[in-house]
Amino acid sequence: MNWTSRREKFRAILDGDRCIHPASVYDPLSVRIADELGFELGMFAGSTASLTVLGAPDVVVLTLSEFAGQALRISRAAALPFMVDADHGYGNALNARRTVEELEMAGVAGLTIEDTLLPAPFGAHDKMQLVSVKEGVGKMRAALSGRQDERLAIIGRTSAMGVTGTADAVTRIKAYEAAGVDAIFLANVTKREQVEAAAAAVKLPLILGNVQPDLADRDWLAAQRVRVCLQGHQPIMAAVQAIHDTMLALKNGTPPNQIKGTASPDYMKRITRDALHQSWTREFLSG
């Protein structure tokens, strides 16, 4: 498949002057819904991948092949560009390079590589740790070397703002910029001063993780060169609750035709592209 146009669209977002909210997507239907609703970008996170593929929390037990496989399923389902959370690259710098190769083939528009020490080492499960700046730079350089399509965005991610402080975060993002990444993803940002410090330190576009309401002013964020700001992953949580409520109602004896909140047959046909499949059936299977 040709992933060029969606990568160019993501590059245009990074090179633009607005801050957008991406849709949290996690499977083929969710990305189609986001595309149909007019979102400009999707976000496939490690946490939602772990929930979707394994039914497990975000403790880095998902494998690269599982993550890349789900990313490919999402890519095939709609033309909406989406970025992914590639965690720590699933290992050291060489693993990060391999991660880029696999995710590029899966059709993603951009991916983050972070400097968190993952998986959590023995005795430190309750406290986030970061690799050294030098190792982080090595991962970024290896990730960039694994890229074949220059339109694919490689994004350096750090949680240093909330772990080691603003000064260390600035040191890290400046080093990652020098290594050649295309954008900076800042997690654990809680203050405007932190965003301002990052914007002053580098010239790259910024991406923020889920922020508190007092930081959610998109005009102000755009002025700080923030081009993407996540809003969390409510869709999959809403889906889980809806499945629970529907199954509970059925178990308790509610007739299926009285279940509330289900998608209509017409909408299910549209979102599954039933007409297209029916046309293929007529064209290729008619006697």
Residue 145: inside a domain, yes or no?
yes
* Burial environment of residue 256 by CB neighbours within 10 A (0 to 12, 13 to 18, 19 or more): exposed
Q: Give the pLDDT score at 98.
A: 98
Residue 253: inside a domain, yes or no?
no
Segments of the chain with pLDDT less than 70: none
Q: Give the pLDDT score at 120.
A: 86
d(CA 99, CA 53): 18
Q: Which domain holds residue 210?
A: 4-238
Residue 254: inside a domain, yes or no?
no
Q: Give the pLDDT score at 287.
A: 74
CA 170 to chain centre: 23
Q: Which helix (H) or strand (E) holds 13?
A: helix 4-15
Report DSSP state, residue 210: S
Q: Give the pLDDT score at 212.
A: 87
Residue 244: inside a domain, yes or no?
no
User: Which of 38, 30, 31, 85 is CA-nearest to residue 58?
Assistant: 85
d(CA 54, CA 122): 23
Length of the chain equals: 287
Structure tokens at 42: 């999707």
Domain count for the chain: 1
Residue 186: inside a domain, yes or no?
yes
List 23's β-bridge partners, or say none. 42
d(CA 87, CA 139): 12
Task: Residue 37: count other Cβ atoms within 10 Å of its Cβ.
Answer: 9
Q: Give the pLDDT score at 160.
A: 97
Q: Give the pLDDT score at 204.
A: 98
Task: Kindly report the pTM of this predicted structure.
Answer: 0.95
Q: Tell me how far CA of residue 73 lies from CA of 98, 155, 189, in angstroms.
A: 19, 22, 31
Residue 283: inside a domain, yes or no?
no
Residue 139: inside a domain, yes or no?
yes
273 Cβ contact partners less than 8 Å away, ≥ 6 residues apart:
none
Q: Are strands 110-114 and 226-229 parallel, antiparallel or unpaired?
A: unpaired
Q: Give the pLDDT score at 29.
A: 98
Q: Give the pLDDT score at 93.
A: 98
For residue 19, give the CATH number of its domain.
Answer: 3.20.20.60
Residue 150: inside a domain, yes or no?
yes
